[in-house]
Each structure stands twice: as C-alpha cells, then as structure tokens.
Structure 1
Amino acid sequence: MIGAAAILASIALTPATASAEETIELNMATPWSGGHWLEIGANSYAKIVEQITDGRVKINVFPAGTLGPALKVTETVQMGIADMGHAWGGYDWSVDRTSALFGGWPGGPNPEEYMMWLYNGNGLALWKEWRDDVFDVVAIPCGVTETEIFMHAHKPVRTPEDLQGLKLRTSSAWAEIAPKLGASTVVLPGSEVFSALERKVVDAIEWGGPGGNLQEGFDKIAPYMMMPGLHSPSAVHDCIFNKAAWERIPEKDQKLLELAGKMTMLETYLGYAKMDIAAYQQMKESSPAEIVLVEDSLVKAVGEASDEWAEEQAANNAWFKKVYEDQAAFLDSISGLSEFRFAPGSR
C-alpha cells in the first residue's frame, strides 16, 4: 500500500522530464452520455488532475459516442483513438469475465469493502497487472459506485419465481447469472435503456442507484422498483491510459495521476451517497412507482447462482481464478467488521 504522503515525498525527489510550462492534454472517452457517472466520476477526476498538477496535465472529457462506441471505451483507448478512458470493467466482460470482479458483480464487495480490498489488500496490484496483461493499457481505479436499485420493472419481482421469463436489460456478470434463475437478458448501451423500458421492449432494467435513476426518470415509466441491488452491491470505475499517451507524461505527474485516482474514490463515494440519500427520500415521498423489497428467498437464490457462476469461470480462466480467490479471501478476512461496527445508516 502506497500512502499519499509517500507519493508526495517521492515526487519531490523525482527529476522533471518536461518543462514546468508544458501542458499535456489528454482526450478521455467515456461510456456515459450524461448523468452523475460523467459529472461526479469522470469530470471529478479531470478536475483533480488539473488542480494537483498545477495545470500541467489537462484532461478533456468526452461523452459517450464522441470518440468511439459507448460500450467500446477500452478498445478506443487501445487503438489510440482516445488517449485515455473512464471505463467500467463490466463492459469488457465479453473479452475476459474477470472484468466483472473488478467492475462489480452479485457476489462482490460493497463500496467500503471494494476500497479496502484495493488499498488494504491486493486488489490494486491485481487490477493493474490484469489490465496490462489482458488489455495492454495502464489502469488507475478512479471511482467507487453506489449499491444500485435492483430493477425498475413493469411487474413486481420479490421471489425467484418472479424472475421466470422476465426479459431484463442488464450487463456484465448478471447477464449470465440471471438466466440461471429463469430470466432472459439483453445488453443495451445507456442511451437505449429508457426507450426500451418505456416501449416495453424489456420487462425490466437495472441501471444505477437512486440518484442516477431518479435523474433518468425510470420510476415514471415503470410501476415497480425493486431493492436492494442484489446484482450490484457496488462497482469500481477505472481511468485507463493508452501506453503511448501515458509515456508522454513525466514521472512525477504520473504519480500525481495515481494520487488523483485515490482522491476521486473518496469524491465519488461521498458524492454518490449524498445524491442517493436525497433521491431515495424523494422517491419514497413522491414517486408514482411502488418500492418493493425482495424476499430472503431471492437473496439466497441470487447468492447461490452467483457462486455457481464464479466457480464455472474460475475453472477455465486463470486470471478469474486468481482474482476471485483473492477477493473472496479478503472479504472473509474482514468479516469481523460486522461484529464491532455499525453498518452505515443502521442506527
């Protein structure tokens, strides 16, 4: 674990490789057409980078589809079409299912646990090594997301039986786990989610937490919203860099970009929580949709199906096995937290 003080101390001893006057501009591709993941996530990282590098590194943030396909940010960065991207590993699951373990999955950590695994455990080192080995990009985790709303739907979902035949828009690991419970899944980019739900092309969708979903207006077009987010207790975004673009950055500023990622983790954790608390209260008071809490039988069924899926992936994917076993071991190692600490919002 490298703390902020150690990073700053090493920066002071690192000779500059570019003049103080030189500004490096980086174009960032994102999968977000708007909303809080663009504003609180990608834009926050860009602002922090510009601030702590005294303007030596400037990141131009582009919305989805501007520099490449919304679901192909990693590929856009690999090819050098964009210098960097604000990425979500779940969109890369078709290349390597290990992405779900970093991007968030039903059996994965909540926001606090993700940050602990990254910075107190082996998560950060594994993430960097995996991104380099599989995708040939430099990766910096730069945002932890909220627990999502389980789904907005045209019919209530409380039990495993309610998933039978449900046509669900989703992505990443849940797209393969939900069918084990009888659902039919389809992956759509964010720009198509609202219309698909509104026109009943799908029966249900999952997207984000209360804050983002309230902005999108999903509760206005579907009469039920299910909680809690069994499919995504949390997720992490990473800022990925084309290697040629990364090498243009002086070493001392590379270290600051790393530090900016850690700072943005806190910024997003606090920002999304604040937004979600206010939005959820508004939903309870004035949303036309009914809030449905799922039954324990569904929680158990999702957990069992998720474990089954993970074991299947680990049997055939060395990277998945390595990360899955480390993540599971870390979560087990911190189980004592529940015995002596209150969960946020539990009192």
Structure 2
Amino acid sequence: MKSLKKLLTMSLIATAVMSTSTSISAAEKDWRMATPWSGGPWLERDAQNFADHVNKLSNGDFNIKVFPGGTLGSALKVTETVKSGVAQLSHNYISYDYGVDPTTSLLAGHSSGLTPEEFMLWIYKGGGLELYEQFRLEKSKVVAFPCSVLGTEIFLHSSKKVQTLEDFQGLRLRTSGAWAEIASRLGASTVVMAGSEIYSALERGVIDAAEWGSPEMNKPTGFHEVAKYVMVPGVHQSGGVLECQVNKRKWDSLNEQEQNVLRSSAKLSVFDSWLASSYADLAAYQELKDGKNEIVNLDPSFITKILEETMAWEDENAAKNPWFAKVLTSQRKFKEDMNNWSEYRLKIGESEL
C-alpha cells in the first residue's frame, strides 16, 4: 500500500512538473516584436505577415505581438531593444545601424546596388544570407535574416526640377545613410530628419527635395502634394531588404525545428512582400503619372556619375573595412554572374520586343 501511495505521489509530482514546464515553455513563446514603424505596409502587412507565418508553421506554439515604433524603445535603436531582451525579436532596417558599420548599407541596399529581384537571388543563391547572418551575429550579437524585400524607390520628390548633375548640386536634400555621404560628394546639401518631419519641411521650403521609399510607401506621405516634381529612376536605392532579428539567448533556447520555423517564415515573408509591394507600386506610380506632378527622367550622364561616385565610395570603405570588402566582393561577383541575364530573359513590364 505504501509503495502504491509512493508511486501515485511521484506520478502526481511528475505531472505537475510537466504541466509547469509546458506553461513556462508556452509563456516563453509569447514574444514581443519591436519595430521602427509607426504604421503603414511595413508594420501592418510585412511585420504582421511574419508573425502570422510563425504562428501557423509552429501550429500555434509561437504567439508574436507586433509593436509600433517607440513603444518598446527608441524607434531607431531596435537592435538594442532586441539585444537587451526587452523584445524577443524585431522587424527592422539594418541601415539604421549605419553608424556602427557602413557594411549595413550594402546589406540593406544602396545607390546603384541590386534590384529587388537580384537581392532575392543573391540572398538565397549567391551566398548573401550566410554573410548577412555572420555579420549581424559578430557585430551586433543578434541572429538576423531578411524577411521583407524593398522595392526600387522614387529618386526625389522635389520643388525643383532635377535632371542633371548640375541641377543636383546645392540641392537641400533630406536623406540618410550611405546616400547622404554619396549625395554630398555629388554636391547636394544633405539633411537627416525623421520621416514625420519631411512633409512640413518640404511645404515650408526648409528643404528642396526628399527621398523616402517606393511609390507605394510614398503615397500616404503626401510628398507629391507639396513637391511638384517626381524624379526617376531610384538609382540611389535600387532595391533592398528589411530584416527580422532574434535575441541570441532566445534563439539558443530553441530547438532546430523551432529555429527552422523562424527561418522558413522569414523566407515566406520575403516572397509575400515582393508580390504585395511590387503590385501596389504599379497603381501608386500610375496615380503620380495621372496627377498634377511632373515625372522627370534623370539624364543618363547623371546616372553614370552616380555609379562612378558610388564605386569610388565603395572602394574607399572596402580598403579599410574587412567586412565591407567581403560583402562588396560577393555582390560584385554576383553582378558579373548576372551580366548575361538580359541576353535570354525579357525585361519585366515590357510589352513589346
């Protein structure tokens, strides 16, 4: 009888321990996602898509709550929020850490870099994903991988017509990151300001022009209402990616299957974002064409000068930064491999041969 009671007691204890462990495990996977975004497609569509994919692929084991910028920490210091553990993961733009290392500009997308489609090929087939993860882990102590694709941006919304290098020189331009450096070298007077301040600055003439995002992203900003000219193509940001970061301690606590859920969800989100943003850009750009703005195509000689200045800037950084050199070498090699693409593939969007 005593043996039976002992067995029952041990069984109850074991059940209680297992129940407690399950509860703790479930609680640990109620994760907070920090973002820099106050609203719009990157918050409401892309970040939420990732959270939904993780929940579905894990059969509900993960429950991720997406927070807008500023609610879990500084909107421009999301990496610190994740590294400290205030948030378990994030949806972020790596180039916000440009001041830590300019290599971030290559991984985020920069002037005369890779198109959205090239970025996806480089990331998943050209060795880009491995470099991205290694860089983030070494430099920022977080686990990170791309989880959204950025479309080609509008070059400028401007109150002044800009078509040539001469037009660009002296332009009071709102920008950020690598392009702020390169644009300054090309003669612009660059100003860094928060996105929320751009409309007012354009309207009051504090700045002449601003770059922000693709047609879809720019539409709700209203920049086209206070700046007559719209300059294309966006060679300053031909494409890029957003990332999802995971706290390193949390990542290490996951098993391989759980880690694969996060990786697979990120890859699915990249494809989703490419489809959604590419299609939304079509309608948003058509509205600009049909509206009161004047669409201005950059002079080819100006584009060539941007390419040349960008390469000079790249070479200077590669000479003093091993990580920058490693990523740049990989991307340039990939571009060489893409040289014969146009010989057998039709251009997207061209209806005539």
TM-score with structure 2 setting the length = 0.90
Does residue 97 (structure 1) correspond to residue 112 (structure 2)? The answer is no
- What secondary structure sits across from 1:22 in the alignment? helix
- Matched residue, 1:178: 183
Q: Is 1:335 matched with 2:339? A: yes
What SS class does the counterpart of residue 173 from structure 1 fall into?
A: helix
Q: Aligned partners of 1:132, 1:311: CA distance in 2, in Å?
A: 24
Q: Choose the corresponding residue for 1:215, options 217, 220, 224.
A: 220
Q: Which residue of 1 aligns with 2:304?
A: 300
Tell me the CA shift for residue 19 of structure 1: 4.9
**What is the CA-CA distance between 1:32 and the residue it aligns to?**
1.1
- Structure number with bigger Rg: 2
Aligned partner of 1:88 among 90, 93, 99: 93
Offset of 1:153 from its aligned partner? 0.8
Once residues 91 and 100 of structure 2 are traced to their aligned partners in structure 1, the CA distance between those partners, rounded to angstroms, is: 18
Look up the SS of the partner of 2:72 in the other structure: coil
1:322 and 2:334 correspond: no
Aligned equivalent of 1:256, options 255, 261, 273: 261
Mapped to 1, the partners of 2:294 and 2:31 lie a distance apart of 44
| Mapping of residues 1-347 of structure 1, within 5 Å | 19=22, 22=26, 24-285=29-290, 287-347=291-351
> What letter matches 2:330 in structure 1?
D
AA aligned to 1:296 is: P
Partners of 1:201 and 1:80 in 2: CA distance: 39
State, as a whole percentage, how many aligned pairs show the same letter: 45
Q: 1:22: how far off?
A: 2.5
Q: CA deviation at 1:191?
A: 2.4
Per-residue CA deviations over 1:34-88 (Å, capped at 9, x if unaligned) read: 1112123211111111111111111111111111222111122222222211111
What are structure 1's unaligned runs of at least 5 residues?
1-17
Cα deviation, residue 251, structure 1: 2.8
Range that drifts further, 45-54 or 299-308: 45-54
Q: CA deviation at 1:193?
A: 2.4
**Higher RCO structure, 1 or 2 (CA under 8 Å, sep 6+):** 1
- Note the alpha carbon deviations across 1:257-290, whole angstroms, 9 max, x for none: 10001101100000001110011112211x2221
Task: Note the alpha carbon deviations across 1:162-207, whole angstroms, 9 max, x for none.
Answer: 1111111111210110011100112222222222222222211111
The residue that corresponds to 2:4 in the other structure is: none
CA deviations over 1:203-260 (Å, ceiling 9, x no partner): 1111111111112111011111111101000010110111123234343111111000
> What code does the residue aligned with 1:323 have?
V
Give 1:291 shift: 1.1
Structure 2: gaps (5+ residues): 1-20
- CA deviations over 1:78-102 (Å, ceiling 9, x no partner): 2222221111121111100000001
Contact persistence 1:90–1:171 (CA under 8 A): no
Q: What number of residue pairs does the alignment pair up?
A: 329
Does the CA contact (< 8 Å) of 1:70 and 1:189 recur in 2? no
Q: Say if 1:40 and 1:267, in contact at 8 Å, map to a contact too.
A: no
Aligned residues of 1:33 and 1:190 also touching (Cα < 8 A):
no
What CA distance in whole angstroms lies between the structure 2 residues aligned with 1:233 and 1:312? 21
Partner-residue secondary structure (3-state), 2:100: coil
2-structure distance, mates of 1:318, 1:220: 44
Normalising by structure 1, we get a TM-score of 0.91
Q: How far apart are the structure 2 equivalents of 1:52 and 1:109?
A: 30
Aligned residue for 2:26, secondary structure, equals coil
CA RMSD of aligned residues (A): 1.5
Map Cα deviations across residues 303-330 of structure 1 (whole Å, 9 max, x no partner): 0110011001001100000000111101
